[in-house]
Chain A
Amino acid sequence: MRLEYFQLIDRITELNLTELTVRAEANVPAASTIFEGHFPGYPLMPGVLLIETMAQTSGWLVIARMNFERMPFLAAVKQAKLRTFVQPGQSLQVSATLAHEGSGYMVTDAEIRADGKLVCDASLTLRTMPFPNPEFRANMTEVAKRIGLPMGAVVDG
Chain B
Amino acid sequence: MSSTFDTVANIIAETCDIPRDTIKPESHAIDDLGIDSLDFLDIAFAIDKAFGIKLPLEQWTQEVNDGKATTEQYFVLKNLSARIDDLVAAKGA
**Chain A interfacial positions (CB closer than 8 Å to B):** 75-76, 100-105, 107, 125, 127
Q: How far is it, in angstroms, between the C-alpha of A91 and the C-alpha of B37 when the chains are bound?
A: 37
Q: Which of A75, A101, A105 has the most CB of B within 10 A?
A: A105
Interface size on B, residues (CB 8 A): 14
Q: Are B38 and A102 in contact (CB under 8 A)?
A: no
A103: which of B42, B49, B59 is its contact (CB, 8 Å)?
B59
Interface of A, secondary structure class, is strand
Residues of B with Cβ closer than 8 Å to A? 38, 41-42, 44-45, 48-49, 54-59, 61
**Contact residues in B for A100 (Cβ distance below 8 Å):** 45, 48-49
A125 touches B59 (CB 8 A): no
Top-8 shortest CB links A-B = A103-B57, A104-B58, A103-B58, A103-B56, A105-B41, A104-B57, A102-B44, A102-B48
Chosen A-B contacts, 24 in total, with CB atoms closer than 8 Å, are: A76-B38, A100-B45, A100-B48, A100-B49, A101-B54, A102-B41, A102-B44, A102-B45, A102-B54, A102-B55, A102-B57, A103-B44, A103-B54, A103-B56, A103-B57, A103-B58, A104-B41, A104-B58, A104-B61, A105-B41, A107-B45, A125-B41, A125-B42, A125-B45
